[in-house]
Structure 1
Amino acid sequence: MHYRRWRKEQRIVSDVPCSVDGCTEPRWARGWCTFHYSRWNEAGDPTAPFVNKAVGKYTDAHRCKSPGCARKVRVNGRCHQCNKQLKYGATAHELAERDGTDCSICGKPVDMTLNRNVSMMGPSVDHVIPRSRGGSDDPENLALAHLICNISKGNRVSGAI
């Protein structure tokens, strides 16, 4: 590995092509290019078909919901490319239009102009039955709440703090 890296840094490229038929890349280790050497290292055969290991591991639930993006989602619910937060079945503003602007936990009005990244009294989406207890992201299971109320509620089913 270090020798190949040194050759690349020194721009020492072999004039001899890879020994696999049809490949024109320069040969590196064992007479193969880097791709065929990695295929030999993983599958035991440099001509083995490439199998994408990620296929089948991720379902649509693990994909970013942003328009035009199908990348896998990180643990924090954000796509590594477009950095968009996964959307639930409804946004906080849609819930405010549906149910009104009162907090579903404390009953006080939620100021919809506040940004939840700045103020703990900003709007947030609360799962009535938390996802950790089998709840879903359907709009029927979502309610509007203050961010501080939602955090203090945790994964409890009841709205009592």
Structure 2
Amino acid sequence: MSTKKDPSVWQGFKTFLMRGNVVDLAVAVVVGAAFSNIVSSVVKGVINPVVGAIGTQNLDHYSSCLSSTCKGDDGIQIMWGSVLGATLQFLITAGVVYFMMVLPMAKFLARQEAKKKAKEGDGTPQAVEVTELQVLQEIRNELVAQRGGEYDRL
């Protein structure tokens, strides 16, 4: 009876780190954090002034009061403006990430896969287009062969 030694926790952790996904994830987090600053600036510098043309420039000032008296910070206020600002920021971030990173990468990978299949062939037999004339000629040749080679042209 042989006993295999299980890999150590340290060895498993080292394998996990070297897999590459962790490095990709770390890069994504750092780029995402930097990108978040850009999106915040766009929301603050572009979106808020556009909304400010309608009402207030700061979306955080949009609120609704649930109590009978709302003066300053008194009363029960629902700050739906900050939710709207965060939602706009999320939608802008998601849109930019999709259209600037995900979509071009998907198209690139699809082209690479198409090139790979074109080089290697996809393993399926290629259909040969046969015309009606070719089928009739094959039938004629088969009938001639069955008669023993007697073929009279009409």
Structure-1-length-normalised TM-score:
0.27
TM-score normalised per structure 2: 0.28
| Structure label with greater radius of gyration | 2
In terms of fraction of residues, the more helix-rich structure is 2
